[in-house]
Amino acid sequence: MKLVVALGGNALQAANKPATAQAQLGTVKATVVHLADLIASGHQIVIVHGNGPQVGRLVLQNEYAKPVTPPMPFDVCGAMSQGMIGYHIQQALQEELHKRHIHKPVVTLLTQVVVDPEDEGFRNPTKPIGPFYTKEEAEILQNEQGYVLREDAGRGYRRVVASPAPKRIVELETVQKLVSQDHVVITVGGGGIPVIEAEDQMLEGIAAVIDKDLAAERLAEDLRADGLLILTAVEKVALDYGKPEQRNLDRLTVENAQQYIEDGQFADGSMLPKVRAGVKFVTSQPGRLAIITSLEKAGEALTGTSGTRIVP
């Protein structure tokens, strides 16, 4: 199958390791083993990744370095994170494929994604970026820096920023050509560099982080992919997540998904965009496959023995 694979933050940066380039590369080297398994099984994959922790840390670096060097704007930090993460995945995957005697070019493409400047996401920030903070640390940042911070799935508090919906992938034609030539393409990293279309049809960067799952869905539709594989830290979508009555789901119908969304079962900036992306993809055309699962269970999920499969 032609698959768009969306990698979550756990595939790029381990929670129990330092946030260094060396530690990230080590985590990515473990991640690409599972991606190489998909390729070795005959699937054609296009890779999309998140950038929440990384772009948040780049913004922090910029702010702390103001007395020394001018800070880069938010969209530029997004581009920097896209290049950095893409480089790590590209290098590690090329090495893993070489070990297996699989000869496929792997390429990272810096990708811009058009958003609507009037999108509701700019009025209601939901996308977590950067490190986790305690409640006390979060209150200090809110008071001193004016950040918006929210509790993130019981793991602490994180800064949240605008997360507008993706409208158009600017470099889509280039991605299509590379895929048609059997390249493994790493693209729309971090959801893409957010840009708006000015009156003269020129593009301008804007401060936001596009959700990578929704951007991956947009890409999967545009590439006419067979499947959208959203890889995260958990094996299955769950109801009442983290509570004693938690229930894991093997299948999730579109109708049930809509009801669970209305009931507030899925957290903003976490499982909610994943479910929405899966629903949008399977309803875009009959026969399309959307699965949410963990990185380690990716292969099993495609055979139907793991993960949550979203069905019409």
Catalytic annotation, residues: 9-10, 127, 212, 274
Coil, helix or strand for 201? Answer: coil
- Main-chain dihedrals φ then ψ at residue 108, nearest 5 degrees: -105, 130
Name residue, tokens 């979508």: 237
Rounded to whole angstroms, the Cα distance separating 257 from 263 reads 10
Rounded to whole angstroms, the Cα distance separating 153 from 265 reads 12
Rounded to whole angstroms, the Cα distance separating 208 from 296 reads 30
Q: How many CB atoms lie within 10 A of CB 308?
A: 26
Q: Are 232 and 277 in contact (CB under 8 A)?
A: no
Rounded to whole angstroms, the Cα distance separating 306 from 309 reads 9
Rounded to whole angstroms, the Cα distance separating 157 from 160 reads 9
